Amino acid sequence: MSLLELDDVKVHFPVKKGLFFDRTVGHVYAVDGVSLSIEAGQTYGLVGESGCGKTTLGRAVLRLNDITDGGVVFDGTDLAKLPGEEMRAFRRRLQMVFQDPLGSLNPRQNIESILSEGMAAHGIGKDQAERREKIKDILAKVGLPSNALSRYPHEFSGGQRQRIGIARALVLEPDVIICDEPVSALDVSVQAQVINLLEELQESLGLTYLVIAHDLAVVRHISDVIGVMYLGGLVEEAPSDALYAGPRHPYTKALMSAVPVPDPEVEDRRERILLHGDLPSPANPPAGCRFHTRCPWVQETKCATERPPLLDTGDGHKVACHFTAEIEAGTVKQTLATGIEAVTGTETVAAEAVEVSENETEAPAADAPEKEPATVPAQADADAKEAEAKAEDAKETEAKASDATDVEKETADATEKAEGSPKP
């Protein structure tokens, strides 16, 4: 039995209007029917672009966001139906490491106060002295000195603050830790340190992780199973190596094609999939498959009307697509201007999927003689004729200007004579 299981979880935020915001005019479908399971001691990686609902789903597991529908079963208990006091007891076993290490730490508390607060709330340790000793032990595990207890969050670097966030979760001795973008705000060298720390803690303490991230390289390194989210739903799930070796959902294919490859020869030969259009609004998601408005292989049947379920296609590889087998076999062709590029050497060949009908194109006449390229003398004659034409235009303009001047003089003389003649 899985340690943590999500069953068709939905998190919808109401959109309210009116003078007192008492009128609901719609909903934001942040998470819309996600089902997954995590085994004890496993690391589940959840990836997807910004705004797809990853963090909302992680917070829903802890009931930090209210669950609209569905179930979150932890160790046989449905957390979605627990009252507040009972849920509080389960939160000791479910902890979260937040994305912003500075924003998640109280700047007015020192590290000892931050770490001991949760311990006191859950009754861990007989007194503050016992809690202090446990905190020192945890700080040593995350690579921080014991003199950090009296310091404040702003006195630490970003990597050290993230270690403090991990220590805050560890002091409660949890079974599951939800890591929300644990290394996104850190330098690359510090990222490696934090990831290695998480792996070491998992081995020594038997932890289970739900790692939320958008960095596919990080997720591949740390995860056993990876789930790919798009617009509030899970579109693909597979063991880490299988997903990277052979993604099957069109959206996952596009994501994987965006990951840089260190080998220049492989990078130049591989297929790149460039998606067109923007991510639809979660307040007004498209009907049917959520990805069909941007999918290179969209079909007229089913895609726009039926939402595909997440089905196992073999070896634990689950895909939410109506035409997975057909796309893999090549029997379903691309039907949109996909922007797929096949790159070979320095030449880039765009694969256009929109077919042009024969009526819209005119074939050149077979008997029509080919135009010979213009020779240098012919070009010189053309330039000379153009110069002569410009000269004639200039002369004509000058003549018109001269005539206009003569007319003005005659008019002036006539006026002068009229003014000087005696009156009768």
- For the record, the structure tokens of 361 come out as 């194109």
Residue 373, C-beta contacts closer than 8 angstroms, at least 6 positions apart: none
DSSP conformational letter for 422: P
- Domains in the chain: boundaries: 4-18+26-93+174-344
Contact 168, 115 (CB under 8 A): yes
More confident residue, 317 or 216: 317
- The verdict on pTM exceeding 0.95 is no
At 161, is the pLDDT very low, low, confident or very high (cuts 50, 70, 90)? very high
Buried b (16+ CB within 10 A) or exposed e, 22-57: eeeeebbbbbbbbbbbbeeebbbbbbbeeebbbbbb
Rounded average pLDDT over 60-66: 94
Instruction: Output the CA angle 253-295-37, nearest 5 degrees.
Output: 55
DSSP 366: S
pLDDT above 70 (res 1):
no
How do residues 89-136 score in pLDDT, each as one tens digit? 899 999 999 988 888 899 999 999 999 999 999 989 888 999 999 999
Q: Are 184 and 216 in contact (CB under 8 A)?
A: no
Question: What value does the mean pLDDT take over residues 338-359?
Answer: 37
Question: How many Å apart are CA 314 and CA 367, to the nearest integer?
Answer: 58
In whole angstroms, how far apart are CA 57 and each of 119, 210, 232, 345, 378?
26, 11, 9, 43, 73
Q: Which pLDDT band, with edges at 50, 70 and 90, does 191 fall under?
A: confident
Tens of pLDDT, residues 356-411? 334 444 444 444 444 444 444 444 455 555 666 666 666 666 655 555 555 455 54
Superfamily covering domain 4-18+26-93+174-344: P-loop containing nucleotide triphosphate hydrolases (3.40.50.300)
Mean model confidence pLDDT for the chain: 82
